[in-house]
Structure 1
């Protein structure tokens, strides 16, 4: 998008004035038509009256009256034709002025139109998002590897007993109060059990969460089980 400059801003202002001036001329041309139409109507009625008087052999109307009425009607009709044409031309000028305003606004970047420049940005964004997701999945894999090492080490600690049911007395044990004593190894870190993170499932959950955020916003996405990231 082109940033507005003093020149482009001035062009927009000039184009706006051009539209205003053209609209004023068009409105003035339109405003003239009713009066001329009324003159045509009256002249036509007068001509018909005189024609009828002559047809009825009334002495109140003669050749001069007929000639004058006919000339006036023709004059007003031609005038109406000219004014109508002028109004049409003025209307076209309004459209042309509005086109010029659109072009001036385009050049000034007021519409925020990027054309094809958004495509490479979108492609780069897709690559960036994919890289971030891949990196996160790699971190999940590293977490799982660490978890396995932790569990292997815990088997050699007092967290496990001979029965494989876990030792409630161990500082590593967890879950006895939740009746999970039949799990062979109970491990917690900072008071939280160590979960297994499924990389592909996590990836898909992140994508769902992103879609919910785009569609419904952060707050709704945070409350939705559909977009919950395990």
Structure 2
């Protein structure tokens, strides 16, 4: 089986890249061939190829508010040739790439699923532009073959607010299992947050959760 994965993730720069890379690694261990189409950089190809996947680089501006626009335009130029050469069985498309990918995928008769790792959170003007593109992407999923999303809460929202067809598959996160060992737990519980420290993400709620757990008699470190 051949998978085309269109993502706006900047490989080698974004912490959440681990999910895409480890899911790809697991699929390849089961005989899949995986090709990523993602923003190009000096290190992106080497990061992807290190796990055994192929990489096709496209343009994505680093100027705030123009990333999704340039990404979509670059996909429209690049994907037809990539699809013609790859003979892909299915495509996964991050919401940022749906508008730029849909026509080429339809022309090549390649079934595709929208991938949503989470909606935009910023309330600025640029954030509003992102939300417009986000809603537009979900509006185009009626022609998709399903959705791959991060959480049950997001799945409940999608079923209530969008026309995305089944299957609706949960993909919380991907990790390299060889990095972990089964062992006995002990001591205090630990809350670890990986992400940006900004007000839009309500990170301060983690402190409130910690206070509640301590009030219930739990030992906790954060």
TM-score exceeds 0.5:
no
| TM-score bracket for the superposition, by shorter chain length | under 0.3
With the length of structure 1 as denominator, give the TM-score of the two structures: 0.16
Structure having the higher strand fraction is 2
Whose relative contact order is higher, 1 or 2, with alpha carbons under 8 Å and at least 6 apart?
Answer: 1
Structure having the higher helix fraction is 1
Higher CA-based Rg = 1
